[in-house]
């Protein structure tokens, strides 16, 4: 049973989808006037992980995420840079999609853009006017907050105690307060001033307000009610409160059944802000950081909790990821290379694999507790390592060991992290994967190191090849990649050489 913490009821509730086996999910997308920062990235990575998990649990997920490509901020930026708003929006939409791909976030099933859904929004605004929930004033249209009796229920606010905190400006810079019937009312449609992007509407040339976008798009692509509405905690009020009011007032039905909000991100325990000079863009971080390491850092904190981002935590996450990679590489190697005639390893490892899948699922079912799920994986790695450390591995254990490695790969993949078996910096690992036997691996390794066996080998090339092998082994050991280090040793044995470790360093001698 999956439980989801629902912001509206302020409790964890059993997840019951509207349609059995299917999940409709809407996560508010970016306003494209800038590159996204690491705090935005956290929200998108969290919901990507949730979507992947629900899919793994057998649900057919429909994931919708809008792109706000017309907005005051885009228009301001365009004016500053002497470009059109459409050019600015196009540049940052492309950049957003590229950043999401770089971060390993899957594309939504549907990615509607505000500028391509103007009619859908106009129809919804008209519907709200027809039902007495909205009114037009000189080309603007406002939602009458007090006409919807449940306003404030999502963000746990009382309308009568609410200040009109969200003062809005008209396109011409005039305050709206005197135009609205109630200070709490918010804009559904804004009259445009000349030169700004605008569309024809029953109320004159204008453009949609931000909140109406998500109401229009979720109804169009998911139907109401849909299952999960997500976003960062900063969107809960007023954005989500307003979306909900518009949708429920227009369609007389529940908008979303579960409201999920991701926690905020801090840098070195401080709020991230431009004024503090600690404002980090996702793309800058990914220039020097493996996206899998970034995701590992993020998933070690529950999605609703505040997350602390720092270089030290990145380093820890890189080490944690490497531990998993080494486990998979070594365990797969062990499975290919029996060292004894029989043990009770197989049944013990299989039991651990079953327990791992159970506790992983239990954590993730509990409001997507990724930190607990990762904890289960690291416990498992520790326990299997202990079992295999001194065991005589027999051929009969091979399947269990392969299953153990694959379980880690599969579950990490559910979390959006693909585990790489050792890579380019250690050429022998690639060789190892391609070779069918240790001896063949040695030949490939020597070829890699510039030695071509057979046709009158130059002694200096042989020397270089031997040195390269010793280097590769030393690097593998330093990285605790014992599978590769052992493979080099065993491969040499097979072709009649052995490695001798001396106080002056290792050397290769005839066996
Ligand atoms: Zn939204």
- Taking alpha carbons only, the member of 4, 114, 7 closest to residue 65 is 114
Measured in Å, residue 79 CA sits from the centre of ligand 1 at 25
Query: Smallest Cα–Cα separation from 32: which of 120, 80, 96?
Result: 96
Cα(211) to ligand 1 centroid in Å equals: 6
Give 92 Cα–ligand 1 centroid separation in angstroms: 18
Residue 154: count of CB within 10 angstroms of its CB: 24
Q: How far is the CA of 243 from the centre of ligand 1 (A)?
A: 7
CA of 394 to the centre of ligand 1 (A): 57
Domain boundary among 262, 281, 305: 262
Q: For residue 450, is pLDDT > 60?
A: no
Q: What is the pLDDT of residue 424?
A: 31
Cα–ligand 1 centroid distance for 30 (angstroms): 9
- CA of 266 relative to ligand 1 center, distance in Å: 23
Strands (E) across 98-243 are located at: 134-137, 140-143, 186-191, 206-208, 226-232
Cα first-last separation, the chain: 60
The alpha carbon of 406 and the centre of ligand 1 are apart by a number of angstroms equal to 38
Q: How remote is the CA of residue 343 from the centroid of ligand 1, in Å? A: 58
Q: Please compute Rg for the chain using Cα positions.
A: 29
Q: Are 224 and 201 members of one domain?
A: yes
The whole-number average pLDDT for the span 403-421 is 94
Tens digit of each residue's pLDDT (9 = 90 or more) over 253-303: 999 999 999 999 999 888 888 788 788 999 999 999 999 999 999 999 999
State the distance from the centre of ligand 1 to the C-alpha of 50, rounded, in angstroms: 18
Residue 282 lies in a domain: no
* C-alpha 240 to ligand 1 mean position (Å): 6
Ligand 1 centroid to residue 12 C-alpha, Å: 22
Domain's final residue, options 262, 294, 329: 262
Peptide bond into 35 cis (omega under 30): no
Burial class (CB in 10 A: 0-12, 13-18, 19+), 359: middle
CB atoms within 10 A of CB 331: 23
> 287 CA to middle of ligand 1, Å?
29
Nearest-angstrom CA–CA distance, 152 and 8 = 10
Burial of 287 (0-12, 13-18, 19+ CB in 10 A): exposed
Q: For residues 15 and 2, is the Cβ–Cβ distance under 8 A?
A: yes
Q: Model confidence over 65-91: pLDDT tens digits? A: 999 999 999 999 999 999 999 999 999
Neighbours of 319 (CB within 10 A): 11
Give the pLDDT band (50/70/90) at residue 428.
very low
Kindly indicate the confidence band of residue 451, based on its pLDDT and cuts at 50, 70 and 90. Answer: low
Distance 44 CA to ligand 1 centre (A): 13
Nearest Cα neighbor of 46 from 1, 5, 92 is 5
Ligand 1: distance of its center to the CA of 418 in Å?
A: 30
Same domain (yes/no): 235, 371? no
Entry pTM: 0.82
CATH number of the domain residue 361 falls in: 1.20.120.640
- The answer to whether residue 30 sits within a structural domain is yes
For residues 278 and 372, which has the higher predicted lDDT (pLDDT)? 372
Q: Is-contact 184 164, C-beta < 8 A?
A: yes
Q: How does the average pLDDT of the chain come out, rounded?
A: 88
- Whether residue 296 lies inside any domain: the answer is no
Report the alpha-carbon distance of residue 225 to residue 24 in Å, rounded: 9
Residues shown for the chain: 511
Q: Are residues 189 and 98 in the same domain?
A: yes
Residue 165: pLDDT over 80:
no
* Ligand 1 centroid distance, CA of 371 (Å): 27
Pairing mode, strands 270-271 and 307-309: unpaired
Kindly give the distance from the C-alpha atom of residue 278 to the centroid of ligand 1, in angstroms, as a whole number: 26
- Ligand 1 mean position, distance from CA 55 (Å): 23
Report the pLDDT averaged over residues 318-331.
92
Higher-pLDDT residue of 468, 309: 309
Q: What are 121-159's pLDDT values in tens digits?
A: 999 999 999 999 999 999 999 999 999 999 999 999 998
Higher pLDDT, 319 or 332: 319
**Ligand 1 centroid – CA 179 distance (Å):** 25
| 481 pLDDT tier (thresholds 50, 70, 90) | confident
Which range marks the domain in which residue 67 is found? 3-262
Distance 28 CA to ligand 1 centre (A): 4
Which residue is listed with tokens 């051929």? 395
CA 247–ligand 1 middle distance (angstroms): 12
248 CA to centre of ligand 1 in angstroms: 15
* Count of the separate structural domains present in the chain: 3
* Sign of the Cα pseudo-torsion (214, 219, 224, 226, in order): negative
Instruction: Report residue 430's pLDDT band, with 50, 70 and 90 as the boundaries.
Output: very low
Q: Band of the pLDDT at 458, cuts 50, 70, 90?
A: low
In this predicted structure, the answer to whether residue 381 has a pLDDT above a threshold of 60 is: yes
Q: How far is the CA of 187 from the centre of ligand 1 (A)?
A: 14
pLDDT at 191: 95
How much of the chain, in percent, has pLDDT values that exceed 70?
87
Residues 433 and 497 in one domain: yes
Average pLDDT over residues 237-243: 97
Same domain, 42 and 134: yes
Both 133 and 237 in one domain: the answer is yes
- Find out whether 378 and 327 touch, Cβ atoms under 8 Å: no
Confidence label for 429 from pLDDT (cuts 50, 70 and 90): very low
How far is Cα 235 from Cα 226, in angstroms, rounded to an integer?
A: 18
Same domain, 395 and 249: no
**H or E element in which residue 22 lies:** strand 22-27
Q: What is the pLDDT of residue 503?
A: 67
The dihedral sign for the CA sequence 411, 373, 100, 223? positive
CB atoms within 10 A of CB 458: 11
Shared-domain flag, residues 35 and 116: yes
Do the domain assignments include residue 268? no
| CA 192 to ligand 1 centroid distance, Å | 22
Residues 230, 351: one domain? no
- How many angstroms does the Cα of residue 310 sit away from the middle of ligand 1? 29
Q: Is the pLDDT of residue 422 over 50?
A: yes
239, 262, 285 - which closes a domain: 262
Same structural domain for residues 324 and 232? no
Could you tell me the CATH number of the domain that includes residue 44? 3.40.50.620
Who wins on pLDDT, 193 or 417? 417
Evaluate whether residue 278 is within a structural domain: no
Q: How sure is the predictor about 173, in pLDDT bands with cuts at 50, 70 and 90?
A: low
CA 108 to each of CA 23, 31, 52, 384, 467: distance values in angstroms, whole numbers, following the listed order? 13, 16, 11, 37, 50
Asked whether residue 330 is assigned to any structural domain, the reply reads yes
Distance 162 CA to ligand 1 centre (A): 21
**Which secondary-structure segment (H or E) carries 297?**
helix 291-299
Q: Determine which of 400-414, 457-471, 478-492 has the lowest per-residue pLDDT on average.
A: 457-471
Q: What is the CA(475)–ligand 1 centre distance, in A?
A: 50
- The CA distance from 281 to 36, in Å, is 6
Is the predicted pLDDT of residue 98 greater than 50, yes or no? yes
Ligand 1 centroid, distance to 496 Cα (angstroms)? 68
Residue 476 pLDDT grade (very low, low, confident, very high; cuts 50, 70, 90): confident
Segment 340-349, tens digit of pLDDT? 776 688 999 9
């Amino acid at each position: 049973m999956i439980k989801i913490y629902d912001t509206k009821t302020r409790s964890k509730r059993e997840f019951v989808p509207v349609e059995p086996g299917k999940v409709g999910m809407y996560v508010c997308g970016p306003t494209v006037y800038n590159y996204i920062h690491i705090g935005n990235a956290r929200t998108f990575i969290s919901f990507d992980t949730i979507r992947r998990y629900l899919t793994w649990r057998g649900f057919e997920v429909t994931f919708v995420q809008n792109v706000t490509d017309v907005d005051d901020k885009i228009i301001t930026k365009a004016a500053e840079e002497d470009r059109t708003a459409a050019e600015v929006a196009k540049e940052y939409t492309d950049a957003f999609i590229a950043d999401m791909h770089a971060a390993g976030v899957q594309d939504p099933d549907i990615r509607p853009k505000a500028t391509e859904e103007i009619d859908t929004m106009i129809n919804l605004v008209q519907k709200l006017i027809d039902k007495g929930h909205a009114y037009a004033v000189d080309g603007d249209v406002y939602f009458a907050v007090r006409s919807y009796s449940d306003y404030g229920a999502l963000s746990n606010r009382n309308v009568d105690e609410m200040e009109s905190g969200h003062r809005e400006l008209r396109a011409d810079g005039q305050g709206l307060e005197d135009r609205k019937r109630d200070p709490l009312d918010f804009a559904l449609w804004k009259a445009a001033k000349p030169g700004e992007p605008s569309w024809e509407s029953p109320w004159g040339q204008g453009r949609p307000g931000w909140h109406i976008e998500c109401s229009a798009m979720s109804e169009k692509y998911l139907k109401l009610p849909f299952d999960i509405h997500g976003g960062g905690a900063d969107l809960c009020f007023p954005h989500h409160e307003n979306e909900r009011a518009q949708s429920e007032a227009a369609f007389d039905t529940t908008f979303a059944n579960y409201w999920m909000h991701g926690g905020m991100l801090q840098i070195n325990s401080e709020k991230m802000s431009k004024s503090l000079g600690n404002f980090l863009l996702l793309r800058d971080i990914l220039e020097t950081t493996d996206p899998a390491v970034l995701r590992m850092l993020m998933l070690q904190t529950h999605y609703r909790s505040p997350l602390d981002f720092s270089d030290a935590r990145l380093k820890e996450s890189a080490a944690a990821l490497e531990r998993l990679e080494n486990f998979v590489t070594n365990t797969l190697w062990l499975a290919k290379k029996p060292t004894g005639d029989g043990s009770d390893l197989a049944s013990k490892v299989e039991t651990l694999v079953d327990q791992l899948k159970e506790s992983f699922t239990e954590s993730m079912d509990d409001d997507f507790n990724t930190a607990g799920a990762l904890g289960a994986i690291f416990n498992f790695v520790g326990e299997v390592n202990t079992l295999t450390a001194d065991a005589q591995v027999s051929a009969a254990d091979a399947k269990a060991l392969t299953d153990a490695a694959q379980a880690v790969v599969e579950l990490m993949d559910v979390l959006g992290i693909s585990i790489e078996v050792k890579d380019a910096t250690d050429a022998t690992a690639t060789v190892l994967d391609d070779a069918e036997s240790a001896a063949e691996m040695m030949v490939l390794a020597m070829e890699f190191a510039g030695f071509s066996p057979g046709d009158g080998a130059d002694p200096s090339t042989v020397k270089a090849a031997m040195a390269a092998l010793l280097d590769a082994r030393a690097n593998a050991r330093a990285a605790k990649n014992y599978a590769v280090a052992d493979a080099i040793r065993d491969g040499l044995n097979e072709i009649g050489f052995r490695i001798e470790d001396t106080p002056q360093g290792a050397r290769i001698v005839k066996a």
